[in-house]
Amino acid sequence: MNPVELIRKKRDGKSLTDDEIKFLVSNYTKRKIPDYQFSAFLMAGFLNGLNKQETAALTRSMLYSGKVIDLSSIPGVKVDKHSTGGVGDKTSLILAPIVAAAGVKVPMISGRALGHTGGTLDKLEAIPGYRTDLSLIEYKSVLQKCGAVLIGQTKEIAPADKMIYALRDVTATVESIPLITASIMSKKLAEGINGLVLDVKTGSGAFMRKQKDARALADSLINTAKSFNKKVIGFITDMNQPLGNYIGNWLEVYESIKVLQGEKVDDLLEVTLNLSSAMIYLGGKAKSIKEGIKISQEMIDNGKAFEKFKEFVELQGGDISLIKNPDKYPKSEFHNKVLAEKNGYVESIDVYEIGMASIELGGGRLKKDDVIDPKAGIIFYPKIGSRLKKGDLIAEIFTDRKNKVEEVRKKLLDAIKISNHKVNKVKLIKQILK
């Protein structure tokens, strides 16, 4: 095959065969096709789109560029969850122990913070000693022992994805549903899972701000999962307000601990229990999603989920004394309160700006080599529909960067739009797709 002919074929809007896509990906991964040619293919695919067959072929080629983990020696159904990311989205930390406690294996390979959204790995690494860099042998061992394991992408898993994503990032080809699908699914399918629950966010704090775009991505992910004979359920959930109240790496671990200990955080619990129930259902431990919600709540109420959380944290090297006594965690040098400046109802929240505010405080990265301060972040209280009076507590700021406090205070106030009229609460679960 000739790369130039294949680029021309895609440029002219024609479909590539499975073998043609495999040729391009395989030879790019082996460095036999240079960056400039593969960039041309990516742009042709970005502009002309990839159909279902091409998307599945691209996913398959990226998946088999590395190892596909074989978990057949570990009994039980293996189910994971993938979220497209949001502000305050700590559901993985809560649902993994819930689902494992319910008897479903949870092998989870997670990512780092991307843009304004937090990353599960960065949150877990806020726990002193916690290792996200387990070898595949250690990964299987932890899963066998406690039923849940949360690590980062290894060099053996979907190496083509790492190369292609880096190229997409600098060639303006990131925002393509087929390319996003292949990137996500090549990693998820490499975990050795039987089933997958998808949480596709929509709203001001999501990458897919419009619901129709979120639906298109969810459909693409579901179709691709089905083409690999995986059980799959997709949720489109709201990201027009932070999920829960705590934003920032240790702060989100702290809120997760509190929820696992039975504290009621309504919006965070609603989304988490829906996702965990779907995982329990796919894992064959519930007859319906409704029954899965009941089982999930039982795992919190009887303390089994929190025990499971402590178990996998300890197995992955984390300091569980801080899980048992989270108030002993080191504190930020500066702790400031943000108060409402007028009366009214919260009409809308710019969640993107709140995510960026947390980064400014040290809770995320503006540059690839930035060092995250795990203590830094925000507790953000109001939700859409909340009634505010002048002087009410809107947020608390935690940082070691004194020069950022006033800037972030103003950013948080500007992120809230206040109305004189009552505002309805948002619907958190917008669609469930199978």
Q: Tokens 């596709």 — which residue? A: 200
Between helix 3-11 and helix 35-48 the angle, nearest 10°, is 20
Enter the pTM of the model.
0.91
63/42 Cα distance (integer angstroms) = 17
Say whether 206 sits in a helix, a strand or coil.
Answer: coil
For 120-136, the pLDDT digits (tens) are 888 999 999 999 999 98
Intervals of CATH 3.90.1170.30 along the chain: 331-419
Q: Where are the beta strands (DSSP E) in 245-333?
A: 246-247
Q: What is the pLDDT of residue 115?
A: 64
Intervals of CATH 3.40.1030.10 along the chain: 79-324
299 compared with 135, residue with greater pLDDT: 299
202/214 Cα distance (integer angstroms) = 6
Residue 227: closest CA among 80, 63, 25, 72: 63
Confidence of residue 162 (pLDDT cuts 50, 70, 90): confident
Confidence of residue 153 (pLDDT cuts 50, 70, 90): confident
Report residue 124 as tokens.
């877990």
Q: What is the pLDDT of residue 353?
A: 95
Over residues 198-203, the mean pLDDT reads 96
Over residues 216-226, the mean pLDDT reads 95
Residue 77: closest CA among 103, 43, 52, 98: 103
Report residue 232 as tokens.
């799959």
382/386 Cα distance (integer angstroms) = 6
Q: What is the pLDDT of residue 109?
A: 86
Kindly tell me the burial class for residue 9, based on how many C-beta atoms sit within 10 Å of its own C-beta (0-12, 13-18, 19 or more). Answer: middle
Over residues 383-403, the mean pLDDT reads 97
Over residues 76-86, the mean pLDDT reads 93
Above 90 in pLDDT, residue 426?
Answer: yes
Over residues 282-304, the mean pLDDT reads 98
Q: Domain spanning 3-49 has what CATH number?
A: 1.20.970.10
Least confident interval from 2-16, 199-213, 265-279: 199-213
Average of per-residue pLDDT values in the chain: 94
Over residues 228-235, the mean pLDDT reads 96
Length of the chain: 434
Q: What is the pLDDT of residue 338?
A: 97
Query: Which residues share a beta bridge with 417?
Result: 348
For 396-412, the pLDDT digits (tens) are 999 999 999 999 999 99
Confidence of residue 114 (pLDDT cuts 50, 70, 90): low
Above 90 in pLDDT, residue 221?
Answer: yes
Q: What backbone phi and psi angles, to 5 degrees, belong to 149? A: -150, 135
57 compared with 85, residue with greater pLDDT: 57
Confidence of residue 432 (pLDDT cuts 50, 70, 90): very high
Report residue 289 as tokens.
């999603």
Confidence of residue 202 (pLDDT cuts 50, 70, 90): very high
Distance between first and last Cα of the chain: 38
Q: Regarding the domain delimited by 331-419, which CATH topology (the fold level of the hierarchy) does it fall under?
A: Aldehyde Oxidoreductase; domain 3 (3.90.1170)
Q: Domain spanning 79-324 has what CATH number?
A: 3.40.1030.10
Q: What is the pLDDT of residue 172?
A: 87
11/305 Cα distance (integer angstroms) = 51
CA–CA–CA angle 347, 352, 357 (5° rounding): 105
Q: Are 385 and 425 in contact (CB under 8 A)?
A: yes
Intervals of CATH 1.20.970.10 along the chain: 3-49
Q: What is the pLDDT of residue 368?
A: 62
Above 90 in pLDDT, residue 175?
Answer: no
Over residues 235-240, the mean pLDDT reads 97
Active site residues: 82, 161, 168, 183, 187
